[in-house]
Structure 1
């Protein structure tokens, strides 16, 4: 694996995005093309200016993108999957909380080695750069939402514009009818006012909850518990919503850690909500009660 790090100081772009491209499943391929793609994508994500804001090196958003190529359809055309992970530092702590951990199996792109990567904001002329820009804006939106109420709206709207620009392309992942859990529905869910409590949860969980736990652990934990009521509200309006899966894919383990040392009443309230809204992880949440018995 090729590891790329940015060296420098002073002002910086918004993202510190680690990129990994693997083509091990493709037999007889030119391995150099995967390393070149990785280097080009690293440059595209980390050296592009995505917002109008000024960032210092220490403020850059930590994220990772793992691309696994499984098919080579022609010399320049590839299929595979892309996994996007986003982490956020917690105030006065060395802990980083996961905000996003999503796997997209509709990675279908063309890549020409040594050709410059161009992203057009008004059309999808290159599915690779549009796909990467889409996830850059999702990353930004999720991060901004965790620091201020609905702070990520501008970036979710930019991601939605990429979706709109991609309605006539031949590549999967952009259209509503293809699946209920794809790029179209992710940003639709995030911007749909019917599901606004989800974004309320993002802010309360992180800014009012985790960020306060270093000084006021009980108050911070209570805010996290209260934020789950917003998730419950969204679940009751539409249980199969994609963003609910996104939330629990990122947060289920963390929730176990947070509430394993909770008070009985609070623990029971949280367990009731979690067992309702995320039954697939019910056995995992049982660890909350088991840990409490041992505590």
Structure 2
């Protein structure tokens, strides 16, 4: 079961029969146009597509719906109806017995081009590429659900990651960037490749250990929860040694670095040192931040 909480990042609260409660924000401040209504329509239509599509065969209770945000920053409109944008994807899951939600997915998609005109219907077919809008939205719907399921059962997100990979395959023959392995090492292709890569499977196992065996038992047994979270970090470290600085490792640490500092700031000195050693090894770019644990 997923337990409802209040996310530290603002999410709209609503009741949905489907899997997602996704808030879409379109930031088009960089675009010079007098036709601003199109951006408001994008927010409404994209959110409706995400929140009303049935993405799984599972039945969701109202309190189990997955909270998420898509922040779309449009940088250019090269011609009427053509847009260049980046997308920040955020999702969270509640922590048992608390009013806190922990960020699971924090991913920056820096290369999304699409065409959109007002009153355009959004069509999606899982077996073929129909548009770069619905393919991108459906891809992140499946990735969000996959990561969420991984936190409640070990490797539970596998079928949803497989659906995301199918979308990537369908997009291979298009000219849109972000879907091919040669465009970048940090794109949609590599994120879904990583979650299916056996070398990086320990990170997915860590998601379960960290959340279900760590955060969810923190109130009843803090000492055991800390041990399990350290074990989760050891799994991430093992994967990072096999594939240094993979996009999946980066995404994990982008989601968890601040939370981990907060968790271990109240631990014993020995535990804080152990956490520091793991964190600075996995995520050396934030070593100065992690030093707060041992100072």
Please indicate, yes or no, whether the TM-score normalized by the shorter chain is above 0.5.
Answer: yes
**Is structure 2 residue 83 aligned with structure 1 residue 78?**
yes
- The DSSP-based 3-state class of the residue aligned with 1:163 is helix
Find the counterpart in structure 1 of residue 26 from structure 2.
Answer: 21
Matched, 1:209 2:205: no
Structure 1 window deviating more from structure 2 (261-270 vs 243-252): it is 261-270
Offset, 1:5: 5.8
The corresponding residue for 2:204 is 199
Q: Say if 2:273 and 2:293, in contact at 8 Å, map to a contact too.
A: no
The correspondence for 2:65, drawn from 60, 68, 72, is 60
Ranges in structure 2 where 5+ consecutive residues have no aligned partner: 1-9
Question: After superposition, what is the alpha-carbon deviation per residue over 1:211-235, rounded to whole angstroms, capped at 9, x for unaligned?
Answer: 0001111111111011111011011
Q: TM-score, normalised by structure 2?
A: 0.94
1:282 lines up with 2:283 in the alignment = no
- Aligned match of 1:109: 114
Superposition RMSD in Å: 1.5
- More helix as a share of residues: 1
Which of 130, 140, 149 matches 2:145?
140
Partner residue, 2:181: 176
Work out whether 1:230 is the aligned partner of 2:258.
Answer: no
* Deviation of 1:193 (Å): 1.2
Q: Output one character per residue of 1:239-273: Cα deviation in whole Å (capped at 9) or x when no partner.
A: 12110110111110001001111122222122111
Q: Distance in 2 between matches of 1:28 and 1:200?
A: 47
Label 1:147 to 1:6 Cα distance change in 2 as closer, same or farther (>3 A). Answer: closer
User: What is the TM-score normalised by the length of structure 1?
Assistant: 0.94
Deviations 1:135-168 (A, max 9, x none): 0000000000000010000000000000000111
1:293 corresponds in structure 2 to: none
Q: Would the alpha carbon gap of residues 60 and 232 (structure 1) be closer, same or farther in structure 2, given more than 3 Å must change? A: same
Answer with 12-21 or 257-266: which moved more.
257-266
Residues 184-237 of structure 1 show CA distances to partners (whole Å, capped at 9, x for unaligned) of: 000000011121111110100000000000111111111101111101101111
> Which of 126, 147, 160 is the aligned partner of 2:131?
126
Residues of 2 paired with 1:134 and 1:4: CA distance?
Answer: 21
**Structure 1 residues 128, 269: closer, same or farther in 2, change over 3 A?**
same
Matched residues, number: 286
* Residue 53 (structure 2) pairs with residue 44 (structure 1): no
Residues of 1 paired with 2:200 and 2:99: CA distance? 32
Q: 1:98 aligns with which of 94, 97, 103?
A: 103
- Going from structure 1 to structure 2, the CA distance change for 1:114 and 1:212 (only over 3 Å counts) comes to same
Deviation at 1:7, TM superposition (A): 5.6
Long gaps (5+) in structure 1: 291-295
Deviation beyond 4 Å, 4+ runs, structure 1: 3-8
**Are 1:4 and 1:39, in contact at CA under 8 Å, matched by a contact in 2?**
no
Give, in whole Å, the separation in 1 of the partners of 2:203 and 2:12.
34
